Chain A
Amino acid sequence: MANIISASHLTLGYSNNDADIIKNANFKIKKGDFVFITGPSGSGKSTLLRSFYGQLKPKSGNLLVGAQDMNKISKKKLQELRTHFGIIFQDYKLINEWSVAKNVVLPLIIAGYNTDVQETQAKRLLKHVKLSEHADRLPLELSGGEQQRIGVARALAKNPTLILADEPTGNLDEYSSNVIWDLMENANEQLDATVVVVTHRIPNIFSIPYRHLIIENKGIYEVH
């Protein structure tokens, strides 16, 4: 299987003057992998994820995402690369003045799909995350668990090759968390999407094989 993310001697930090957050890390994530990245609070899990979608450039070392060198990627290429991602945030990052259905099809709007395709996909995705009856409501009218299901539906909207999730169940109760994990397992198994989840705790009930990377003392290590 081809590598979808490849890091060699990767060092991350917010500016050259600040201390390194990740230092000299080496790892590979293959297409189709389901990877948990864990570590204590402040260890750099979210920072690492941001570097995957190009919000933070490496301080040094190499980071390849898809075929793109994240040190040299142009704004245009980054835009194009991001359209292949599904990103899920701990605090959902929904557009609160848009309806649930419109939020879900954001990647399709960006890709320029027509409204018929958007409507069909919105119905399918909302049915998939069991929110069909809330299509026309605003996100803030729904519970946290429901909002995160919108976030997952949005991430799946354009059949992404890579799903990046930052503490997707961090604010949710056990029932809602299990629903989210189910959806992500399905995405990995049925859509063959590579899934990278940053979390401080791996869920107890997880039915598919996964890899576990841990961040410790600024380094990244595989747990076997």
Chain B
Amino acid sequence: MKYIKEHIMFIFPMLAILLGIESFIVFDRMSQNYEQELKADYSMLVLANTSMDLAAFKQLDGSISAIDSIEKRSIVEEMVQGMSGISAEDIMQALPHFYTVHLGNYLDTQAIEQIKNRLVASENIKKVETFDKSHNASYNLFVFIKIVLWTFVGFMTLTSLFLVIKQMEIWQYSHKERMQVMEIFGASTMLKSGILFKRATIDAIIATMITSGLFAFLRFIWVHKSNIEMLMQKEALLFAYKDIAILGGIAMLIVVTSVIMVVVGSKENKL
């Protein structure tokens, strides 16, 4: 019973840390995906006097990643139908070139304003429309969600770290005498801490498996049962197999740190 209790006392805070970290990984993946979508959806409208290619735009501002020329011939031809004495070619020559400009990063309105200023400064650019009102609303919502999630995950990780430290103190107390006795009989540091290391490693593996299992359940079972379309489309973001390696690595790092702290704290003194 005592043995099981000792394991649970370490597994619980470790679980809390790993759940916090996995939540952070998932939220980060989701926010990156959301950022990608926002970035892909966002574009500026640029009116240029002469034809321009991507390199010409990049020369004006490096954050521009792609351009699309807006086809105007079909619209103009449709307009001039039924109008006498007006040639489509004349209108085409009088009209500027229209481009939708995509950015490499998802930027705030201030940065977009700077890009606009750099573009407008060119003699070849006639007008730039940034649609900054709708962009700003999306961007602010995105930043707000990110801050809320990071605060939550940060708080959760911090609280769990305190629990692990507390548990290490208990370990230190309960293993101190055993390690000191072993040292008196000539045991090496590896042998003294071996039992502790083995126990903590088992706990780390259990905590990693539980955390990975929980998120795998969310991805492969819960999402499909939930019938929430948005989640079903994004199910891959909820769990990736590489997360197991990340969680395992972090759990082992916590174990090694914990054991070193216990071993250092139980240095031989007066028995």
Q: Which residues of A contact B (CB under 8 A)?
A: 50, 53, 55, 78-83, 85, 87, 89, 93-95, 97, 106-107, 109-110
Contact = CB atoms under 8 A, between A and B. Distances in A.
Given A89-B271, A97-B178, 18 more contacts: A55-B184, A55-B270, A79-B186, A79-B187, A79-B188, A80-B186, A82-B186, A85-B186, A87-B184, A87-B185, A95-B177, A95-B181, A95-B182, A97-B2, A106-B185, A110-B185, A110-B186, A110-B191
B61 interface: no
A55 B268 contact: yes
A78 B183 CA distance: 10
Contacts of A109: 191
Given A89-B271, A110-B191, A82 B178 contact: no
B271 A83 contact: no
Interface of B: 2, 177-178, 181-182, 184-188, 191, 268, 270-271
26 contacts: A50-B270, A53-B184, A55-B268, A55-B270, A55-B271, A79-B186, A79-B188, A82-B184, A82-B185, A83-B185, A85-B186, A87-B184, A87-B185, A89-B271, A93-B271, A95-B178, A95-B181, A97-B2, A97-B178, A106-B181, A106-B182, A107-B186, A109-B191, A110-B185, A110-B186, A110-B191
A110 B188 CA distance: 8
A93 B184 CA distance: 10
Contacts of B177: 93, 95
A105 to B, nearest CB: 11
Given A79-B187, A79-B188, A110 B182 contact: yes
A109 B187 CA distance: 9
A94 B271 CA distance: 12
A97 B178 CA distance: 9
